[in-house]
């Protein structure tokens, strides 16, 4: 899915993402992409099974190479989290330990509060095949459990990172829940609207839309008010002109439209 706008300032800051013994370079690259989607750039990698940097990681990052370029390699989890004040870990609920477990949404809210207070924060992710050991889990302050279909809750490493990173991003995102997206063309000017209204009224007069002269002023006002409420763009006004042309017989078929019509008729 495309949507990158490089004219916008980058979103920065947030938790360090710690990958513990990732098996595939592709998953490291996909993780970098997921991180940058959500404004995260601090990646720590503990004992990757494949060499790093790796060409397949770069390919899977799909442009998020700045995350890979800044990534730090560590020999132990303890070294990767040494400078952090608060650490969360994503894993299945362990049976051998008594630990606090929360959802990604709650964890993101708590991490945002800690980060705003000046704490250095991080989230650990285990290897694709074996997850995290109890020794690694014991290093976390809180565990994150991702609620999914209990009959099939398997996630790719990068998917898990994206779910947690997205919840982090939304804690500061101010995008309205609903909005109208306007096309690239700007709003129509009053002169453009007036020209269309005049032509529209003339076409309605010709077609006998106004039943009596007495009703005409009120009907014209209602039609104008209705069209004004639409906040029409320049392109929309041009489209309406085309509609009037078609209905009044003044529309002229372009060569492309002619070829399209002939192809349909053949």
51 and 108 share a domain? yes
Burial track 224-237 (b if 16+ CB lie within 10 A, e otherwise): eeebeeeebbeebb
Q: How many domains does the chain have?
A: 2
From residue 208, alpha-carbon distances to 80, 203, 211 in Å are 80, 9, 7
Q: What is the pLDDT of residues 69-93, one digit of tens each?
A: 999 999 999 999 999 999 999 987 6
Q: What is the pLDDT of residues 7-30, one digit of tens each?
A: 565 666 899 999 999 999 999 999
Structural domain range at position 202: 190-265
**Residue 139 in domain:** yes
Q: What is the pLDDT of residues 25-72, one digit of tens each?
A: 999 999 999 999 999 999 999 999 999 989 999 999 999 999 999 999
40 and 161 share a domain? yes
Domain end residue (candidates: 135, 170, 205): 170
Q: Quote the CA–CA distance of 264 and 175 in Å, as a whole number.
A: 44
pTM over 0.75: no
From residue 78, alpha-carbon distances to 130, 137, 138, 184 in Å are 19, 11, 11, 51
């Amino acid at each position: 899915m495309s949507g990158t706008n490089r004219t916008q300032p980058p979103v920065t800051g947030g938790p360090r993402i710690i990958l513990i013994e990732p098996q595939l370079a592709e998953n490291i690259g996909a993780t970098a992409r997921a991180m940058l989607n959500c404004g995260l750039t601090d990646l720590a990698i503990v004992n990757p099974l494949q060499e790093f940097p790796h060409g397949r990681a770069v390919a899977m990052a799909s442009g998020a190479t700045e995350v890979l370029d800044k990534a730090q390699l560590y020999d132990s989890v303890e070294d990767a989290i040494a400078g952090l004040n608060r650490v969360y870990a994503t894993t299945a609920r362990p049976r051998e330990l008594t630990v606090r477990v929360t959802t990604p949404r709650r964890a993101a809210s708590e991490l945002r509060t800690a980060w705003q207070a000046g704490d250095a924060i991080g989230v650990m992710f285990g290897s694709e095949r074996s997850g995290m050991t109890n020794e690694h889990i014991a290093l976390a302050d809180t565990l994150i459990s991702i609620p999914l279909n209990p009959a099939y809750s398997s996630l790719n490493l990068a998917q898990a990172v994206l779910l947690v990173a997205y919840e982090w991003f939304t804690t500061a995102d101010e995008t309205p829940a609903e909005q109208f997206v306007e096309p690239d063309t700007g709003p129509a000017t009053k002169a453009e609207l007036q020209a269309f209204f005049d032509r529209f009224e003339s076409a309605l007069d010709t077609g006998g839309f106004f039943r009596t002269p007495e009703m005409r002023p009120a009907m014209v006002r209602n039609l104008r008010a209705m069209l004004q409420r639409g906040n029409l763009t320049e392109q929309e006004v041009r489209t309406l002109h085309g509609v009037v042309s078609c209905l009044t017989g003044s529309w002229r078929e372009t060569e492309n439209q002619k070829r399209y019509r002939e192809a349909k008729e053949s």
